[in-house]
Amino acid sequence: MSEIIRSLQRDLNDFGEDLHLIGAEALAGRHPGEHPDNLGAGAMAAPATPEAAVAVVRWCIDNGVPMVPQGGRTGLVGGGTSRPGELILSTARLARIEAIDPLARTATVGAGVTLQALQEAAAEFGLTPGIDLAARGSATIGGMIATNAGGILAFRNGVMRHQVLGIEAVLPDGSLFSDLTRVLKVSAGPDIKQLLIGSEGAYGFVTRAVLKLETFNPLRATALVGVPDATAALALIAHFRAQPALQLEGAELMWRDYFRDSAGERGFDLDWLARETPAVLLLEVSAASEAEARAALEDGLAALWEEHGLTSGIVAASLDQARRFWAIREESDFIYRLHPAAPSFDVSVPPGALDAYVAGLEARLRAVDAGFAAYVYGHVADGNLHISVFGEGAAAPAMKGPIEDAVYAGVSDLGGSFSAEHGVGLEKQRAFLAYGNPVRRAAAVAIKAALDPKNLFNPGKVPFA
């Protein structure tokens, strides 16, 4: 057992069941999640109350022990990695859905509640958190706040920042910041909770949150449509978004290589779609009935077919088939089976710039190595692309810089971001320093020094002070 855990057990033994302290032996049996170093500290505190969380943070401040906040460990960029000598602050025991208020359309939850648990609880009231993403079963609300998570509904509801009304957190000075606002409108001076959103633990440890909920409509229809390019996909999206009797529920674009290999790996007989078209658009709409949703989808596609050069399409005949369509988009782990260690990226560019960006990307990758290519897929309505580069030698360390430069070229000038929804963590440190806004970073560093002068909250991560 580490010295940190032993000392915590000695100093904070009053908290009993409200504070679990977990050493390296017990952690050895746990899954580290998406990064092998997540449990590297070998020491974890899992408070069950804000008071216990405050006590742990104050103990760490007094003893100079760095802290790493951790949720579902689904982060893809290493933002939750920890090292010996650090203490993991886990939200695992802050996992209660405390209240759902259907009139105010709000949910009050512990930071360790998973997205899926909240989705299921909200669905009983015909509501949804308004955010959805593939890691819903493990990703926690606290982690989604820390990374300002996005996902498949952001084009309509915005990102996590737009759903967060209130936050309770322990700040780096050990104070309990309890701003459990339950209303949309607050204009009462600087909104400090915004600093906790998307800062990956740099400014505090989120323990509780109040989220805004949205109307959930399960009456849907889903289609896969072959499109010539992102521009055509955006025209379809604009058409369906402008229909007052419809809601667009999903708009995901997969360029040909991604669609072919994902569908193929899953054994789906959709090769005809991939053969005929440069990209496949997954569309989902909801309406007053499933029949109306389906009719609107079919009518809309028919109306736009010729003008936008649509080549092929299939509307799901059953919920089960719709789920299979979504699996082609969401279950991307085939990439690493086919191309172990393929360098992966998560950029956003304004939607109108997507086609030029993707064409430029492919050319830039070929210029690095004629054998390089990329899987490109993502949330086309908000311009968020996921990119995995493959080809012989693409995973070699020497290729890291050239491939990154090929992916990030021009993104900032377009008003996009080198990290759209995954965060910075360790893996995007070079991008943060090379492609991030330097004035923004300088202000973030100044604030870090003001709020966390000992640099104890997730040190070595953003803002890399």
CB of 413 to its own copies, least distance (A): 10
- The maximal CA–CA distance of the chain, rounded, in angstroms, is 73
We find the least distance from the C-beta atom of residue 44 to its own copies, in angstroms, to be 25
Nearer to its own copies, 100 or 270 (CB): 100
Note whether 45 and 19 are within 8 A (CB).
Answer: yes
121 versus 465: smaller Cβ distance to its own copies: 465
C-beta of 175: minimal distance to its own copies in Å? 5
Residues in contact with 219: Cβ distance below 8 Å, sequence separation at least 6, in sequence order: 286, 287, 288, 289, 290, 292, 293
Q: How far is the CB of 388 from its own copies (least distance, A)?
A: 18
Which residue, 4 or 310, has its beta carbon nearer to its own copies?
Answer: 310
Q: How many CA atoms lie within 13 A of 95 on its CB side?
A: 17
Q: How far is the CB of 308 from its own copies (least distance, A)?
A: 13
Both tokens of 187, joined, read 């204009």
Burial of 216 per CB tally in 10 Å (0-12, 13-18, 19+): middle
CB of 42 to its own copies, least distance (A): 27
Q: How far is the CB of 438 from its own copies (least distance, A)?
A: 9
Residue with Cβ nearer its own copies (131 or 342): 131
What is the smallest separation between the CB atom of 142 and its own copies, expressed in angstroms?
15
Question: Of 42 and 383, which CB lies nearer to its own copies in the complex structure?
Answer: 383
What does the block give as tokens for 77? 């960029």
Residue 210 or 310 having the CB closest to its own copies: 210
Q: Which string of b and e fits 296-316 if b means at least 16 CB within 10 Å?
A: bbeebbeebeeebbbbbbbbb
Q: What is the DSSP secondary structure assignment for residue 318, as one 8-state letter?
A: S
d(CA 151, CA 140): 14
CA distance 319 to 325: 10
- Which amino acid, residue 266? R
Task: Tell me the β-bridge partners of 221.
Answer: 285
Helix axes 230-241, 354-368, angle to 10 degrees: 150
d(CA 114, CA 38): 18
Report d(CA 89, CA 76) in Å as an integer: 19
Of 77 and 254, the one with the shorter C-beta distance to its own copies is: 77
Neighbours of 415 (CB within 10 A): 11
Task: Indicate the residue among 63 and 178 with the shorter CB distance to its own copies.
Answer: 178
| Contact assessment for residue 448 and residue 202, using Cβ atoms and an 8 Å cutoff | yes
| Token output for 215 | 């109307």
Distance between CA atoms of residues 70 and 126, nearest Å: 30
Comparing CB distances to its own copies, the nearer of 314 and 451 is: 451
User: How far apart are CB 419 and its own copies at their closest, in Å?
Assistant: 5
Tell which residue, 143, 124, 16, 14, has the closest CA to residue 70.
143
Q: In angstroms, give the least distance from the CB of 384 to its own copies.
A: 5
d(CA 407, CA 361): 6
Tally of CB atoms within 10 A around 237? 20
**Cβ-based nearer residue to its own copies, 37 or 191:** 191
What are φ and ψ of residue 346, in 5° steps? -150, 90
Q: How far is the CB of 444 from its own copies (least distance, A)?
A: 4
Query: Of the two residues 238 and 367, which places its CB atom closer to its own copies in the complex?
Result: 238
